[in-house]
């Protein structure tokens, strides 16, 4: 059996395959920092957050066009003829008055070869007025809205100080989907107190919501975060690489094969990372996931 939604040896629905099918050529994202804050910062923020979400985004001291051109020039060394998606990555990128959002989004949309926008945000930071605008925007360009969830479990959301409920998140996803907006969700494996079954339940829930894409992260502890302080005082088990791979493989089996896997592991900056150190070798993790799926002869969606 050859998995349908991939161009290489992957047994899950790769982003590269999705873009090639949709646009007929290589597409890459240009990560931007538009200076947006987060509504949760005033409540202390998520405990794992360094308040620098989007660490690989552009330099916030540069305007958006300068950021875009600098990063695009770097990316074009690898993909000289690629199309680009402007990725509003840092902060909560709908957390501003609508005229501000329009100015920022549309300034980069007007650049050559930009075929879409990817907007990272939170379910509690999209007003009805902004939702209407996003629907309008999605009819003009390829629009992705990314929402952080991390877990469906109330006890976990409270512990990590997520700042919104599962109900709020679910209503937001349903509204985005109703308006035909491509929706990607972030989850984190290895959150304190969660069992493997807890993590699998999160994926089952998202599968029922019929999201378009998923980003899977491994919990990691960054310097100067509330989680780092907690971990120092109350050490807890962090997933080993083998445990993480096992969980990811089982999560993929529970997902509709049409759901695109936008990310399957994190890649924190080495200088900011406290633990687990195995995350530094991102490509080893990716390769080991491929090997494990082949060894077990499993595919995304084979349990759906």
* Digit-coded pLDDT (tens) for 83-139: 999 999 999 999 999 999 999 999 999 999 899 999 999 999 999 999 999 999 999
36, 45 Cβ separation under 8 angstroms: no
Average of per-residue pLDDT across 27-34: 94
224-229: list long-range contacts, CB under 8 Å, 24+ apart.
Answer: 224/50, 225/47, 225/48, 225/49, 225/50, 226/44, 226/45, 226/47, 226/48, 226/161, 227/47, 227/48, 228/274
pLDDT of residue 55: 57
Domains of the chain: 15-296 (3.20.20.70)
**Ranges assigned E (strand) in the chain:** 27-32, 83-88, 114-121, 142-150, 182-189, 213-218, 221-222, 260-263, 273-275
Average of per-residue pLDDT across 146-150: 98
DSSP lists the bridge partners of residue 148 as: 186
**Ranges assigned E (strand) in 172-212:** 182-189
pLDDT of residue 54: 54
pLDDT of residue 79: 85
pLDDT of residue 266: 85
């Amino acid at each position: 059996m050859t998995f349908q939604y991939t161009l290489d040896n992957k047994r899950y629905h790769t982003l590269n395959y999705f873009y090639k099918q949709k646009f007929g050529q290589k597409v890459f994202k240009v990560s931007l920092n538009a200076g947006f804050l987060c509504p949760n910062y005033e409540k202390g923020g998520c405990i794992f957050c360094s308040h620098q979400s989007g660490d690989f985004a552009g330099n916030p001291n540069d305007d958006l066009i300068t950021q875009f051109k600098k990063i695009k020039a770097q990316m074009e060394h690898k993909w000289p003829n690629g199309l680009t998606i402007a990725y509003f990555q840092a902060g909560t990128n709908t957390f501003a008055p609508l005229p501000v959002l329009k100015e920022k989004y549309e300034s980069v949309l007007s650049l050559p070869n930009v075929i879409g926008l990817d907007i990272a945000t939170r379910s509690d930071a999209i007003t009805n007025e902004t939702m209407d605008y996003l629907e309008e925007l999605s009819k003009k360009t390829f629009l992705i809205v990314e929402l952080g969830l991390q877990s469906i479990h109330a006890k976990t959301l409270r512990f990590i100080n997520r700042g919104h409920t599962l109900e709020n998140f679910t209503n937001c996803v349903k509204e985005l989907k109703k308006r035909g907006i491509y929706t990607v969700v972030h989850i984190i494996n290895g959150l304190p107190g969660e069992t493997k079954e807890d993590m699998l339940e999160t994926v089952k829930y998202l599968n029922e919501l019929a999201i378009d894409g998923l980003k899977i992260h491994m919990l990691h502890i960054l310097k100067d975060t509330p989680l780092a302080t907690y971990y120092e005082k109350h050490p807890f088990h962090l997933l080993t690489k083998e445990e993480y791979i096992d969980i990811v493989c089982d999560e993929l089996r529970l997902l509709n094969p049409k759901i695109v896997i936008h990310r399957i592991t994190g890649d924190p900056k080495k200088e900011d990372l406290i633990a687990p150190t195995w995350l530094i070798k991102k490509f080893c993790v990716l390769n080991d996931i491929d090997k494990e799926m082949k060894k077990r002869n499993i595919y995304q969606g084979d349990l759906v």
